[in-house]
Amino acid sequence: MTDLQSLNAPELQELKSQLTRRYREFQSKNITLDMTRGKPCSEQLDLAMDMMNCLKEGGHFAQDGTDCRNYGGLDGLPEAKALFAEYMGVQTDEIIIGASSSLNMMHDTFMRAMVTGVTDDTAPWLKQPLIKFLCPSPGYDRHFHICEYLGIEMITVEMNADGPDMDAVEKLVKADERIKGIWCVPKYSNPTGVVYSDDVVDRLAGMQVKARDFRILWDNAYAVHDLTETPARLKNLLSVCKQAGNPDRVLMWGSTSKISFAGSGIAMMAGSKSNVDRAKKQIAFQTIGPDKLNQLRHVRYFKNMSGITDHMKKHAAILKPKFETVQTVLQNELGGKNIADWSQPEGGYFVSLNTLEGCATAVVQMASEAGVKLTPAGATFPYKKDPLNRNIRLAPSFPPLQDIRQAMELVSICVQLVSIDKILGK
C-alpha cells in the first residue's frame, strides 16, 4: 500500500505498465458485467415466492369483510394500513397505501403541487415564478430527474457523514421563499449509505423556513434494509416535526419493492393527518383504489413487523457477502494509495466510490471499454453533473459474487490508471 501521490514519475510509469497489462488481460476475456442496477438478485426474489400464491380459494376477503377482488379502498385495506403504519412509524390515519411504486407516489405529489399547490393558501408551483429544491448530493438520480423534468431548479447541498450539510440547508431555507423542499433518503442514503443523525433530523424538523409550502421529501426506501446485526436507528422525523410545531413539514414514503418483489410490491405515503387527508381528497379524482389483492398477499405473507424484519435477515444473508466483496477488493487494490475513498454502508443497495477530482468520467469510460458497465459519472448529482467529477455509484446487489469480484478488480485498475495519469499531469 503506497501513497501513489508520493511516487515519482518513473515509479508511476512502471506501475502504469503493470496495471495496463492487467487491464488488457481483462479486455481479452470479453466479459460483460453490470454494476449499475440497484435491484434485487433472483435469490432475493426467491425468498418471497410463497407470497405469489398465498391467496387460496376463498381467501380474498379482508378482515372487515371487503372482497379484495372488487373496487374500493382508496387508501388501503385496514390490515395493510396497520402493518405499514407500524413500518413507517405513524398512525393508521397518517398513511396511504398506494400501488406498487413509491416513486410514482412522489412524482404524483409533485404533479399535485404543480397544479394545485401544497397548501390551501399557497399558489400552484407552476404559477409561481420559480421553484427551487435542495438536493443533498450525491443522491438518488430519479429524485433529481423529477425536478429537472418539471423545471424545478436544483440546489446541490453537500452530503456529510451524518446527513446533509445542515448549516448550508438552514441558511438557504431561511432566506429563500422559492426553496420549496429538500430530497432525503434518510437511512442508507442512495448512494452514500449515510444514516441521518438524530441531530440532523432534529434540525430538519425545527429549522426556520421562509416558504410556507416547504416540504421535506423523506424517501425512506431502506427502512429495514440492514446488513448488520445492529441496525442503524433513524429518528422518526414526523414525531420530531410534531414536537417542533411543524407537523405538516414532512412527507414520507416507503415500499416493499426491495422486500417482496421489485415493481410488484406495495408503496406507501405517510405524513400528518392533515397532509394525508389533503392527498386522499385529490387521489380520489385519480383512482377508485389500488390493487387490494396485492396488499392482502403482503399482509398474509408477512403477518407483522417481525415477519418483515425476519424476512430482511434472509435478504441480508444474501447481500452481505456481496457488499463485503466490494470492500475487500477495493481495500486490497486501492487501500492506502491515497487516490480514492469509498463508503462502507451498513445497509441499503449501494457503495459510493470517490476518485481523485476529475477522474470519475474517465474511470467509467475505461471500465466500460473492458466490459464492466458502471452508473454514468455524474448520475448522482443534479443535472447529471458532479462538480468535482469524482463520484461513482456501485450497485452490488444484482450480480453474482464472482462477477462483483471481477468487476471491482477492474474498476480498481481503472481508478489507478486514471489517477496515475492525473498525477502525472496528463
Nearer to its own copies, 98 or 231 (CB): 98
Q: Residue 306 and residue 3: Cα distance in Å, rounded? A: 47
Q: Which residues of 223-257 are buried (b: 16+ CB within 10 A; e: fewer)?
A: bbbbbeeebbebbbbbebbbeeebbbbbbbbbbbb
Nearer to its own copies, 4 or 147 (CB): 147
Q: Residue 330 and residue 341: Cα distance in Å, rounded? A: 9
Burial (Cβ within 10 Å: 0-12, 13-18, ≥19) of residue 395: buried
Laid out side by side, the sheet with 179-184 consists of 95-97, 267-271, 250-255, 215-219, 179-184, 132-137, 153-160, 163-164
Name the helix (H) or strand (E) containing 302: helix 292-302
Binding residue (CB under 8 A) for its own copies from 3, 11, 67, 369? 67
Q: Residue 322 and residue 335: Cα distance in Å, rounded? A: 18
Distance of CA 336 to the CA centre of its chain: 29
Asked whether 218 and 189 are in contact (CB, 8 A), the reply is no
C-alpha cell at position 239 = 414525531
Site track for its own copies across 73-112, x = CB under 8 A: x-------------------------xxx-xx--xx--xx
Verify binding: residue 150, its own copies, rule CB under 8 A.
yes
Verify binding: residue 280, its own copies, rule CB under 8 A.
no
Binding residue (CB under 8 A) for its own copies from 294, 352, 355, 391? 294
Verify binding: residue 63, its own copies, rule CB under 8 A.
no
Q: Residue 92 and residue 95: Cα distance in Å, rounded? A: 6
Verify binding: residue 60, its own copies, rule CB under 8 A.
yes
Verify binding: residue 277, its own copies, rule CB under 8 A.
no
Binding residue (CB under 8 A) for its own copies from 81, 292, 315, 393? 292
Which DSSP state fits 30? T
Binding residue (CB under 8 A) for its own copies from 293, 305, 401, 424? 293
Site track for its own copies across 109-128, x = CB under 8 A: --xx-xx--------x-xx-
Q: Which of residues 20-49 bind its own copies (CB under 8 A)?
A: 37, 39-40, 42, 45, 49
Q: How many residues bind its own copies (CB under 8 A)?
A: 54
Least distance from its own copies to the Cβ atom of residue 409, Å: 26
Burial (Cβ within 10 Å: 0-12, 13-18, ≥19) of residue 218: buried
Q: Residue 45 and residue 84: Cα distance in Å, rounded? A: 20
Q: Which of residues 233-262 bind its own copies (CB under 8 A)?
A: 257, 261-262
Least distance from its own copies to the Cβ atom of residue 264, Å: 4
Instruction: From 62-70, 228-236, 342-350, 380-388, give the range in contact with its own copies by CB under 8 A.
Output: 62-70
Which residues of this chain interact with its own copies, rule CB under 8 A?
A: 37, 39-40, 42, 45, 49, 52-53, 55-57, 60, 67-73, 99-101, 103-104, 107-108, 111-112, 114-115, 124, 126-127, 142, 145-146, 149-150, 257, 261-264, 282, 285-294
